[in-house]
Structure 1
Amino acid sequence: MLTIHAADLLLPGAGLAPVPDGAVAVDGRGIAAVGPYEDLAAERPGARVRRWPGILTPGLCNPYGPELLERAYHPDPREAGELGTEPITGDALAALDMTEARWGASARRGVQRMMAHGTVAVAGDLWRPAVVDAVQRAGLSMQERFEEPEGTPSLDPFASRPVDDAFLPPLGPEGRDATFAIFDVPTTGDPCEALAEHGAGTCVATVLGGRLVYRAR
């Protein structure tokens, strides 16, 4: 079914001008059109409409793939009483009995947390088979990292670099994979400043290849 995802502001990326009340029309896994919601809706009267608060942007790439998925353990919610809820690293990680199966389960939870921050790609070399399998099954793309990223590894791709650098290629033209995210941040003023200030934890939805893979409750 053709679906139109509309938001208060569309930020296409690559320096393209923001579109107030903008939208992306999705047909299958691809983009059918990008532009003002009224135009897209008028051309597609039978489309299902999903309306979101905030800013719709290209999907994000997290530069800390190995650090977050192969050098950190994401506890199972059932372990929260013993291990807490935040990723475990360093000496605390070394003290855990990390089997390949446990690495795979951790990576699946880590990937879900990434998608809840608008992430649809990770950068860096992944070598653990269970981790690679988790990333591929989720549909995230893996990108080469040409230099070591600065800053502390974070689930928030906006935390350590300019907002524009976190975006994948811009939305459009027609035929490109429908991969984007929506962040519930203020739309007055500079949208990049709003995203940087409030962070990717404000993500309300992530669409990957036309699939809604994350939706905030």
Structure 2
Amino acid sequence: MIHSAPPVLPGGDTVIHSAPLILPVSAPPVPDGALVVRHGRVAALGPRAGILAAWPDREETRWDGLLVAGLVNAHTHLQYTHMAEVGRRDYASFEDWSAAFDKVYAGSSIDWAASARDGARQALRSGTTSAADVVTDLPAAGALRDTGLGGLPYLETLGDNDASWAESGRERFRALLDAAGTPMGIAPHAPYTLDTGVLRDVAALARSRRLRLHIHLAEGEHEREYTVSGTGPLARMVRELGFDFAILREGGTGLGPTAFLDGLGLLGPDCHVAHGVHLDAGDRALLRARGTVVTLCPRSNRTVGMEGPDVAALLAEGNPIAVGTDSLSSSPSLDVLADVADLRDLAVRQGYRAADLDRRLVEAATLGGARALGVAGGLDPGGPADFAVFDVSPGAEPYRILVAEGPGRCVATVIGGETVWDRRTAAVAEC
């Protein structure tokens, strides 16, 4: 059966892409499949023979290997690509990594725009078609637009206490949003780098402008102690950075970080969180109730001295999840499938035995990421023609093959019907 969008008129820029196997992810696999692309969108998807018969005399691009709906990197900081020296080490704790990161960041003269564009091109070469890119320094905000990578940049804010935010921080941040020159979301950095009132107001600001939210949550093991009692290694680090927050003055909130953010109005279906390493059953239930996607970045977690998230529990309990790489300052590459492979290993070690593991992890890296960003995912007729091709041999278990063999083996990335990466020409299109 051929699945089609509304009728496509003859002529125009209609092109057919075919492969031995297509994984739309949003629909069952299509052996010897083809998809019709017109005006950057999927016009039809089905068996190749039927597609060629229904659209005769159209140009066909034949790909070897596995054609898959585009990957979504749901948490990264592309501007830190040129800080890869930090990510090449292993650290004993999140606080140790933070100290190393801050030292390099504070002393750097990096061209953040160039660094972010370099990261975007690396992402394209791994099959990523969209990203949630956290932008700390405004010159990096145009990387997605400049390279043709889809997704959304999120302007980050951190460091303000309630007084500094009211005095000038809020207007300064609003001015940066207005000056960005591209649509953006808002990224309050974390529960420990902004004051309580600031976090509440940032959520209100985002909702007043209908902007999406993205925040780090439960990444370090001491974050819970910080929000509950205002004590511990993370609290000491925050004091040493010179932040003057109510949590520190008042001895905490009595709430874990997830409940703390929820009470301030941060959580919801328009917000996704990064890492979620230290979530308990109550936290996971609250995130499910709010429709908040948890983006998992296991290779980054390992770099900063952690075991990684309880992916088995998140899957078994039905939490919506996505996959991110974080930045090269804490991860060896921007290849989302490499993090998917790590998540699989974690889930198995944690006791997940269901046969759906590989499929659900590929869904997390595609549909889950799209949900986090509030965009369309999968290869549905009428949706964007965003996909990647991997040099693997399709078999009876295509999801398993993709997870096991796909990292590092992307041969082409297509966004909006345009080939932006083709290993045969070793070129990333300049946009």
TM-score range, shorter chain: 0.7 to 0.9
Task: Please report how far the alpha carbon of residue 128 of structure 1 lies from its aligned counterpart in structure 2 after TM superposition.
Answer: 2.4
Contact preservation (8 Å) 2:125, 2:421: yes
1:119 correspondence with 2:128? yes
Contact preservation (8 Å) 1:9, 1:18: yes
Q: 1:51 aligns with which of 62, 74, 79?
A: 62
- Distance in 1 between the 2:137 and 2:19 partners? 38
Task: Please report how far the alpha carbon of residue 25 of structure 1 lies from its aligned counterpart in structure 2 after TM superposition.
Answer: 0.8
Quick check: which one's strand share is greater? 1
Task: Please report how far the alpha carbon of residue 163 of structure 1 lies from its aligned counterpart in structure 2 after TM superposition.
Answer: 2.1
Q: Structure 1 counterpart of 2:334, which letter?
A: L
SS in 2 for 1:160: helix
Quick check: which one's helix share is greater? 2
Higher relative contact order, chain-length normalized (CA < 8 Å, sep 6+): 1
Task: Please report how far the alpha carbon of residue 56 of structure 1 lies from its aligned counterpart in structure 2 after TM superposition.
Answer: 0.9
Quote the residue 1:157 is aligned against: 336
Q: 2:23 aligns with which of 6, 11, 36?
A: 11
Contact preservation (8 Å) 1:73, 1:89: no
Q: Deviations over 1:14-68 (max 9, x none)?
A: 3x321111111111211111111111111111211111111111110113312xx
Contact preservation (8 Å) 2:80, 2:115: no
Contact preservation (8 Å) 2:75, 2:274: no
Structure 1 runs of 4+ off > 4 angstroms? Answer: 90-93
Q: Structure 2 counterpart of 1:3, which letter?
A: V
SS in 2 for 1:46: coil
Q: Structure 2 counterpart of 1:30, which letter?
A: R
1:147 correspondence with 2:274? yes
Quote the residue 1:136 is aligned against: 145
Q: 1:65 aligns with which of 76, 85, 88?
A: 76
TM-score by length of 1: 0.82
Aligned residues: 199
- Distance in 2 between the 1:89 and 1:71 partners? 10
SS in 1 for 2:339: coil
- Distance in 2 between the 1:128 and 1:211 partners? 29
Q: 2:33 aligns with which of 19, 22, 32?
A: 22
Q: Structure 1 counterpart of 2:119, which letter?
A: G
Q: Specify whether residues 193 and 39 from structure 1 end up closer, same or farther in structure 2 by C-alpha distance, changes over 3 A only.
A: same
- Distance in 2 between the 1:124 and 1:136 partners? 11
Greater radius of gyration (CA): 2
Q: Structure 1 counterpart of 2:366, which letter?
A: F
Which ranges in structure 2 are unaligned for 5 or more consecutive residues? 1-12, 88-99, 154-213, 215-271, 276-295, 300-330, 341-360, 368-376, 425-431
Q: Structure 1 counterpart of 2:21, which letter?
A: L
Task: Please report how far the alpha carbon of residue 178 of structure 1 lies from its aligned counterpart in structure 2 after TM superposition.
Answer: 1.0
Task: Please report how far the alpha carbon of residue 124 of structure 1 lies from its aligned counterpart in structure 2 after TM superposition.
Answer: 5.0
Q: Deviations over 1:103-155 (max 9, x none)?
A: 11121121111111110111253232222201122232127432322312342
Map residues 73-84 of structure 1 onto 2, 5 A cutoff: 73=82
Q: Specify whether residues 44 and 70 from structure 1 end up closer, same or farther in structure 2 by C-alpha distance, changes over 3 A only.
A: same
Quote the residue 1:37 is aligned against: 48
- Distance in 2 between the 1:71 and 1:138 partners? 16
Contact preservation (8 Å) 2:79, 2:113: no
Contact preservation (8 Å) 1:71, 1:89: no
Q: Structure 2 counterpart of 1:34, which letter?
A: L
- Distance in 2 between the 1:109 and 1:147 partners? 22
Deviates more, 1:155-164 or 1:89-98: 89-98
- Distance in 2 between the 1:128 and 1:186 partners? 42
- Distance in 2 between the 1:44 and 1:214 partners? 26
Which ranges in structure 1 are unaligned for 5 or more consecutive residues? 75-86
Q: 2:378 aligns with which of 170, 189, 204?
A: 170
- Distance in 2 between the 1:53 and 1:98 partners? 43
Quote the residue 1:98 is aligned against: 109
Contact preservation (8 Å) 1:4, 1:47: yes
- Distance in 2 between the 1:65 and 1:179 partners? 19
Aligned-pair Cα RMSD in Å: 2.2
